[in-house]
Every structure is written in structure tokens, then in C-alpha cells.
Structure 1
Amino acid sequence: MKQKKKQKTTRMNRIFRNTLGLVGLIAAFTACQENSFENGSDFIGSIDMQPAYEIDEITSYSEKIKSVQTNGLSNYLLGTYDDPVYGKSSTSLLTQLRLDQTSPDFGTNPEVDSVVLSFPFYGRETGENEYELDSIYGTGDFKLKIYESNYFLRTIDPGSDGDFDEDQAYYSDQIGDFENFFDPTPVFESDVITYSDVTSPITLIDSSDPEENDTINLSPRIRIKLPVSYFKSKIIDKEGSDDLVNNNKFVNYLRGLYIKMEQVGPEPIMYYLNFNNDVSEIKIHYTTERESLNVEDSIIQKNETFKMNFKGIKVNLYDNNFDVDLTSQDKINGEENIYLKGGEGSAGIINLFDGADTDGNGVSDLLEEIREKNWIINEANLMVYVNEDISPIDSDKARRLFVYNADKNRILTDYQNDPTVNNDNPSTSASIHLPPLDEDENGNKFYRLRITDHINNVINNDSTNVKLGLLLSENVNLTRVKKVQNGPNSEIDKIIESSVISPRGMVLHGSNSPDVEKRLKLRIIYTETEN
């Protein structure tokens, strides 16, 4: 039987703190009217609207993410990020290339003019050839290095029993497994690349028609010329060979590239990139001889391109200096703070209704008592305050949190039922369940995470009171889970993808914060019924 070391006050009054307020009454009244129709078959007798209650029978603490799966992501990080709390982390990328066109025909006497690498940034166009970028952290300079890799990245995990029934997972800490397979001499090493070099729009001359001088405007991106000789040897000179017949043979021939950014100077920079789209590419520009379609027996010179993309297997690799010690977390009384860091960082763990269980049935006395009261749950919110003394809020801090079922590794019902979920606009998606950072009347920053459906299921549908995981989120629409390798005593074995792709960190007030007003709390607005 689990006993709390925290001192308790009297039964319900000892557990709840009355926080009656005008907002709470309005919310309760509105939700009550809605629920009176939604639950018509169960809604018998009179109702009694109650003030909001804050439940402090909560335990929260943090767990370090030692290694996280980083293949199969929607986006990838490249560069260096320096967090004032968590320290410096650098990310690199091991990636396959794929042929846009297999069994290519390069014509007669092809001559390579240039080879161009292109990684566009996320952003939006604000005017004619003007852009607002939201995928760059920092303003530092860097050098780009690219190495050929001879490590074969496989799709299927053979498994210990040889069943080949699971996708292969690759992890953030596997650089030691890969680096012995990298050619020691880089394929390419750039000069210093400045922030302004990559954040300005690009204007090109269209050379596909020699009689025209049309220009092409490109959005800001990393755009670099690569060595001609390497790609001529690896691609152009291989025309007609089995290596270019299909992509399965190609990725066994050219097994991959290892891409890393090296910080130059005191300021770091990290890029958040989509390598899965059609415009992240390596493009070979060449001239060749073709038979004219208009003049018989005539040979003409043509400018052509051949493209390779990054839609194969990719692995983000971390070099992480995690400066916070999370090895001795108090799982009985809870911790003062919740430490959240994306990527190979840390997650929060929240246990609700975590008080005495005198009959030893696995359900706390408080939860049993509430279940007997036949409450209609109008709204339930986790109130989570930022510890601004440790982790001040600035423009580079994450604005969203993600709460999920850490026992079953899946999103909560509240996410599934949120009508604001919108794949086209992640910044406003799921804004009922996971609203962005807010501010109270005293200017204190907090998150109000609405978990009404989850709490209603726990109280009224006898659902299991599961452990909740709390994460930083870069994009709340990315809800797939990724595996974690944390050891046998870990309480977290998977996290949501939206946290894997975030470099940022934050510190929140936990359930045992010395600032009582900012402690993690569960606030419930409910209606009593008399049957």
C-alpha cells in the first residue's frame, strides 16, 4: 500500500481548495447546460452547480530521456542549440539518398556543370520575395561537412528470433555504431556560412532555355554547390549499371551521407528541416548531346538535370551535454520542478489522485469518494506554471506542451475529440485541449491543459487512472510515438514525436513546489446531481 509522506488536511476540505470565481461559474453553467442534453438518459432530478475545486493529490517528477528513436521523423534538426538550463546539444544527420528516376539515360558525352544541395526552411511569404522564417534557432555561423557512409541502413529489424516483423529503429545516441563506417575524408567541406547567407531569398537565372533570360525566385534555404567530380563518378559514370536500376540496389551501392554542421564563433545555430519533401534535394546540372526531334540526323546540345532526394531512411544523431541531474527524483512526495527538454532530453511524469489507498485496491480513497458522488464533470484542467526564476520565457521558448497516456503510449481522448485539430496550422491546432502559453492577472506564465474527457472517464466510467506523460511540443499535430531506451527501471518507454523534434527546454513548477500558488494542480468544475 502506497503511503504519502505529504501532510494531509481533512477529508474533502483537506484535499480540495475552494477557488470559486466568476470565470469558473460561467464555465460551469455553460458546460452544465450542454451536459444536461448530452447526458439526458442519466440526468435525473435536480442539479447543483459547484465552485471549481483544485485537487492537490498529485505527484510529479521528471525522467531523463537517455536515447530516443530518431528515424522515421517528419522533420529533423541540424546544428547546435545552447539552452541556459540544459546546456549545449548538437545534432547531425545520417541519411540515404534516393534516385528520382531509376535507370537514367544521361545522353551522349554528358558533362557535369554543377551539383547543388538544397534544404529549404519553414516559413511563410509575407510579401513579394519576402519571408518570415520559423525554423531557425539562433543566428550563428557554421561550416557544413558531408561524409560518405558505408553503413547499410535497413528498413526491417530482423529481431532476436529472426521473424523480421518490426520496422528497424535507430536511436539518437548511435553515432558510435556508425562513425567507423564513415569515410575519414569528407566529400565536401564548406567555407564559413553566415546567417544572412541562408536567410535571404535567392534569385537564379533559368538556363533551361538559352534564348530566354528568365529569373527564378527561391525562398530562403541552405543552397550549396557540391564537388562535381564525386557525383560524376558516383552517378553519371554509372549509367547502365545495376547500381542505378532501382532504389533498393542504389542504397546498397551508395549507402548514405553523413551531414554535420560545425559551429563557428560564439553563437550557435540550429535548423529545423523537412527532408521528406520534393524540394530538399541534390541536383546534378549537366549538358549532353541528344538527337534533334525536329531535324533528322541532327545532334543538339541540351541542358538537363538529374535529381536525388532524401526520402529514404534518415537518423538524427545527438552530441548532448545535459546539465541537469535527474537521477534521484522523489517519486513518493514529488519534486519541486518538472524538467522538460525536447529530443534526447527529459519528460515529466504526473500521477493524479495519488493519495492514500487504505483498502489496498489500487484506487485512492479520494478517487473512490469522488466516484460515489455522481458528479457531472464540466471541465477539468491541469494548471501548470512556468518556473520563470529558473527558466525565463523568451521568444525562443516553446509555446506548447503535450500531455499523453504514458502507460499505453497514446494521446488522450481529449485530443481525439478536440474540433480545433488542424493539420494545416499547427500553431493553432488542438487549442482547446492543449492551449498555448497563457498569463494570469499577475503576469505569471502558465499552461491550462484541458483533460476533461480523460478525467470524466476516470471518475464516471471507471477507466484506469493512468500515469500521464508531459512533454515539450514543437508541433502538436505530430502524434506518432517513438521508442525510448532508458533502461529497465524507466517509467517512460515511448514519447510523442512532436517532442523528439524540439531542441528547446523549459522548467515548470511541480507538485511539491515551494511556491504553493504555482504548484501543479488539477482543477475540476463539476455539477452535483440528486437522483
Structure 2
Amino acid sequence: MKNTFTALKISIFSLFVLTSLVACDKDFSIIESDVLGEGNANFLTNTEFIPVTAYNKKLSALQVNNLASNLLGVFKDPEYGTTTAGIVTQLTPSVYGVDFGVNPTIDKVTLHIPYFSTAIGLDDEGNTTYQLDSVYGNANKPIKLSIYRSNYFLRDFNPLGDASTSQNYYSNASSTTNSALNGSTTINFDDHILETIFSASTIIPSSAASETITDEDTEDEIITYSEPAFKVELESEFWQNTIVAKSGGSELSNENNFKNYFRGLYFKAEAVDDTNDGSMFLVNLESTNAYITIAYTNGEDDARVENTYTLKFTGNKLNTFINDFETTLTDGDNVNGDSTIHLKGMEGSMAVIDLFGTEDLDGNEIPDNLDTFLKTYRKTDESGNFVKDEDDNYVLKRLINEAHLEIYEDDTQVSNTLDDNGDEYHKYDRIYAYDIKNNTTLIDYLYDPTENNAAVSSKIISLGQRGVLTDDDGEEKVKYKIRITEHLNNIIQNDSTNYNIGLVISNNVNYTNNSEILNSTDEVTAVPSASVITPRGTILYGSHESVDDDKKLKLNILFTETKED
């Protein structure tokens, strides 16, 4: 009996998804079908490991504006060193052309910026308790925080482009100052400080609910609680002179005038001592609860009226990064691969995975290693040409049931010490894979139904969680699996182009936007923005021949094929 496979219009991935939903864990299982398995008279399953080339790509000048959230603070990574993150942001009034009335006087100015947190229960009084989700480093170590009025104008449009070209800002982490690049110049935000509006050297993020008091010190006083936030009172005099005193003036009359008059705030974080240690936290400036509120009264002495004026953190905003690394990051060997792979967030490092060698994108030639792979999975005629059926589908000799990149953490360099929360330091690390050429997610990610708001357990079919396994010798290894089953099926069945795959570290695999690289001179033109707002890093074993086979980064394929007649 002669057995061949015709390229499937619908992949067996759907069968795998159903199985995964029944039993899904950190170290997902490989499927061995009862239908297409060893017990069947005509088919058998087998596994092969294919060597790939994995190498490092040092990152610099990454787009740092238009991010979904922003990092602020000081973070000392045990493998890499210290990064300091600052924020520069515009403010937008809730209303323009405001008249503050007769004899306006400020009672209180409140700055309120939510952290990212999760509600975890109720206290003894029935109030919600929270856990902070995105605090990195030494959570009990304070940082110094200064907030300045900035005189640097954050443009919306690039004057060097056409009228619709947005202005992007890029990281400059090799500098020793809070600076950014705009494509033509370097901006040191310390050179654009007008006034200090807040300064403290004891800032520690708290998981306590944020309290808001209305009708304070009266019989009608009400206390309401919301998610944890960085909340401080600001000195009234600055806001009286800068905002309230401009009542009815052109400065507050419209958006353009206001942005030119009040150009924004600059949040500058610093370590409090020479240990370069501290905490870094993700803040949600996009939240409706992120604001500066000016509470004031106006009117005659015998008829004072309470009012509020609110400023939001909408408009352009960006992160600044300063790296003080103890580990030197460099571009790797794209021919032989690297023995060690460095994944580091913010302006750090990524990996490039070359599966079969890069194709001639002009369509003239397929490299021998990809051609060999295709001939292993497609049926060929006596002349070595690929065979197609009457529907113009390739006839296959093998079906890929499961394919994934197998990646091991470098246990000689990665610290698994406990952080201040008692968790393993790298416990929630995730690796995010993307198509470098098109700056998109892989097709396996799109097919993955396991998306949820808890990023650590989202997309766990395509982007496996960090898992610890014990081998036959009793040695513990930390392993990642990045599924590329459909990615390979697309190459085999649909002649999809063999583009390289990028790997970055991420704490939020649900966030799929990209950050452009300024003036890129190679194939990597952007990185997933999720890695830009991820301060952590990890170190992995690479694909170089010097790495032990049982720890080497490789491609693992489980396939079904016809038995020999």
C-alpha cells in the first residue's frame, strides 16, 4: 500500500489545543496520536532535533514614547547591573479657557498615579487589599525622586518628515544622564529644568489602598478607597502662580497654547546611596485615575465656593534609561551562533534565531539546509521536484504534530536567589517570540487561545512558561519551550518565507505593539514594546557547538510519517 499525506487546509493544531485545554501545565506534553501513532499499521511517530543558529543582538536607540505604561525608579539586576528609569510627560487640562473666579485660593494640590496591582482580598473592615504586580528590585529600598517643570517641548510631528510623520523619541541608555534622541539631536532633560515641584529621598511603593477624603474635618467627611498609587501633596504656591494666576489668559485658552506654555513634567529617579540599589515600578499614566488635582475656593469672603481643576497625563510621554552594566553586551556570531544568549529588557539585548539559513529574498535560490528540510517533509518525484496534488497542494511524506524551540537557562550564570517578596527572582520570566522581518507575532501566537489578563499565565501554549525539570541524572534544569508548529507548517505547506525569529524577555506577553529602532542598519528594525518596559534579564544557553547537547538551544520536532512498504 502506498501512503502519502496531502497538505492539510486545517492543521492538527486544533486537536492539540483541545488536548491542552484539558490538561495544560508549565511543561506542556507532546502529542502522540492514537490515529497517527505507532499502533497504526501504516504510520509511525518519531522525534528529531534540528540544530539552529542562535546569536545575540545588542539593542540601542529604542523608541521610548507611546508606550502603554512607564517605568520609574532604580533597578539592580543581579546578572547585568543597574538601570535607572525616568519619565518626561506632557499634561492636559480637563478644560480650557477656565476662569478661576474671584479671589481664587488653592487649598490642596494632589498628584495621583496608580501602580499596577491586583485585588487579593478584604481586610477586617471589609476594604479591598492589594498586591503590587510590577515592582522590581529591592522593594524595601527607597529611591530619591525629584519632579521638575520641564521646558522641553515634546513635539507631536517630526519636522524632518511629511506633515503626518509622528515624532518618535529613542533611548540613550549609554549616557550618564536622563536623555533621549529625537533622530537629529540628543536631549538632556537636566538641561531643560525650570523649577522643582517635588523632591523626596524616601520613596517606596506601597500596596496600601489609596485614600481619597471628601468634606475633610466636617460631619460629612467621606473616605473612599481605590487601587494603590503614588500619591503626594504638592506645594500650592507653584500652582497658584503657574496655573491659577493665568485665569482667563491665553496660556490656558487652548491645547496648543497650553502645551507651549506648560511643556510638561520631568520625573527623575536616583539611588539614595552608592550601592546603586533601589526599586523600580511600572506606573499607569494612561489610567483615568492618573492626575494632578488643584482644589481651590473662590468668591467673596462670605460666600466661598469649592472647585477643582484637573490635569491629566495625556499627550506625549517617554521613558529615559541610564544603564550602568557590569556585563558587556555585544552583537553575536550570526554564522556559528553564540554559546550564551543574553536577553535583557529596556535598552538591553535580544536573540536572533536562524532556523535554516536566510533565504535569498529575491526568490532566486533556497539554501541547501532549508531545501533539505523541505525534501524531508515533502514528497519528490524522480527528478527531485516537489509533487503536488490536483488541488495544487504539496504532497507530504511527514506531518509535523509538534515543533518547538527548546531553550535552557544558563545555570552557571543565572541567580535564583529570593527577592524581598520571597519568590524566586526569575520565577515569572517569559520569552516572547516574533517575526523579525514583519515585526509581528508568530502564527502560533495568533492560534493560541490561552490569553488572559494575568500575563504570567497567558499564551502558555505558544510561549511556554519557565519550567523546572529533573533529568535522568537527577540534575535540575530550567527550560523554556517556544512553539513554532504552525510557523513550520506554513513554510512546508504554503511556501511561507523563512524569516528569522526574534526572542526578547517580557513580563507582559499580551502587549504586542512594537518600538522602532533608530537608524537600524540590519534586519532588526523594531522590538516588541513589551521588552522595553521589562527591566529584568536572563541568560540562556546558546546554539554554539561548545554547548553540551543536552542544554543546547535547538529545534525539536515530533512528526508522523508513512512506514516503509
TM-score range, shorter chain: 0.7 to 0.9
| 2:116–2:283 contact (8 Å) kept in structure 1 | yes
Mapped contact 1:24–1:525 kept (Cα < 8 A): no
| CA shift in 2, pair 1:303/1:208, >3 Å | farther
Sequence identity (%): 33
Q: TM-score, normalised by structure 1?
A: 0.84
- Partner AA of 1:409 in structure 2: N
1:471 aligns with 2:481: no
**What pairs with 1:292-371 in structure 2 (closer than 5 Å)?**
300-327=303-330, 329-354=332-357, 361-364=366-369, 365-371=371-377
Three-state SS of the structure 2 residue aligned to 1:192 is strand
Aligned in 2, Cα 1:156/1:143: closer, same or farther, shift over 3 Å?
A: same
Q: Which moved more, 1:495-504 or 1:212-221?
A: 212-221
- Distance in 1 (alpha carbons) for counterparts of 2:320 and 2:500: 29
Corresponding position of 1:193? 202
Structure 1 position 48 matched with structure 2 position 48? no
**How far did 1:355 drift?**
10
Q: Shift of the alpha carbon at 1:194?
A: 4.4
Structure-2 residue corresponding to 1:507: 539
Confirm whether residue 377 of structure 1 aligns to residue 400 of structure 2.
yes
CA–CA distance in structure 1, aligned partners of residues 377 and 539 of structure 2: 33
Deviating more after overlay: 479-488 vs 468-477: 479-488
Tell me, yes or no, if the aligned pair for 2:357 and 2:367 is still in contact at 8 Å. no
Secondary structure in structure 2 of the residue aligned to 1:321: strand
- Would you say the 8 A contact 1:158–1:165 is kept in 2? no
Which of 89, 92, 100 in structure 2 is aligned with 1:95? 89
Amino acid at match of 1:86: Y
Q: Does 1:249 align with 2:291?
A: no
Using a 3 Å threshold, how does the CA distance of structure 1 residues 281 and 325 change in structure 2: closer, same or farther?
same
The yes-or-no answer on 1:288 pairing with 2:275 is no
Q: Distance in 2 between matches of 1:421 and 1:356?
A: 33
- Does the C-alpha gap of structure 1 residues 183 and 494 become closer, same or farther in structure 2, counting only changes over 3 Å? closer
- Give deviations 1:98-126, integer Å, cap 9, x for gaps: 11222223232111012111121111122
1:495 is aligned to 2:533: no
Cα separation, 1, equivalents of 2:328 and 2:260: 42
**What letter corresponds to residue 169 of structure 2 in structure 1?**
Y
CA contact (8 A) 1:384 1:520 kept: yes
Q: By how many angstroms is 1:154 displaced? A: 1.4
* Contact 1:401–1:472 (Cα < 8 Å) also in 2: yes
Cα distance per residue 1:367-424 (max 9 Å; x no partner): 23224341222111111111121113353335211011112211111111111223x3
| CA distance in structure 2 between the aligned counterparts of 1:386 and 1:432, rounded to whole angstroms | 19
Give the secondary-structure state (helix, strand or coil) at the position aligned to 1:415. Answer: helix
- Which of these residues, 477, 480, 485, is aligned with residue 452 of structure 1? 485
Distance 1:68 1:506, change over 3 A: same
How far off its partner does 1:470 sit? 0.3
- 1:61–1:529 distance in 2 versus 1, CA, 3 Å: same
Q: Is the 8 A contact 1:97 1:311 kept in 2?
A: yes
Which of these residues, 448, 460, 465, is aligned with residue 431 of structure 1?
460
Q: Map Cα deviations across residues 129-181 of structure 1 (whole Å, 9 max, x no partner).
A: 4211111112211221122222211112233xx42232211011144733367
Contact 2:345 2:533 in 1 (8 A): yes
Are residues 1:221 and 2:229 paired? yes
Partner Cα separation in structure 1 for residue 77 and residue 252 of structure 2: 44
- Match in the other structure for 1:8: none
Unaligned runs of at least 5 residues, structure 1:
1-22, 34-44, 291-297
2:130 is aligned to 131
Deviations 1:280-316 (A, max 9, x none): 11111112228xxxxxxx9632322211111111110
2-structure distance, mates of 1:147, 1:182: 11
Distance (Å, rounded) in 1 between the aligned partners of 2:61 and 2:467: 31
CA distance in 2, matches of 1:179, 1:476: 32
Counterpart of 1:507, as a letter, is I
The alignment partner of 2:221 has SS state of: coil
Q: For the structure 1 residues 30 and 232, does the alpha-carbon distance in structure 2 shift closer, same or farther, using more than 3 Å as the test?
A: farther
Do the aligned residues in 2 keep the contact of 1:207 with 1:303 (CA within 8 Å)?
Answer: no
Q: Tell me, which stretches of 5 or more residues in structure 2 are unaligned? A: 1-26, 173-178, 380-395, 418-423
Which letter does structure 2 place at the counterpart of 1:158? Answer: P
1:31 CA drift (Å) = 9.0
TM-score by length of 2: 0.79
Secondary structure, in 3 states, of the residue corresponding to 1:237?
Answer: helix
Q: Distance in 2 between the 1:209 and 1:103 partners? A: 32
Partner residue, 1:59: 53
Say how many residue pairs are matched.
484
| C-alpha distance in 2 between matches for 1:525 and 1:438 | 20
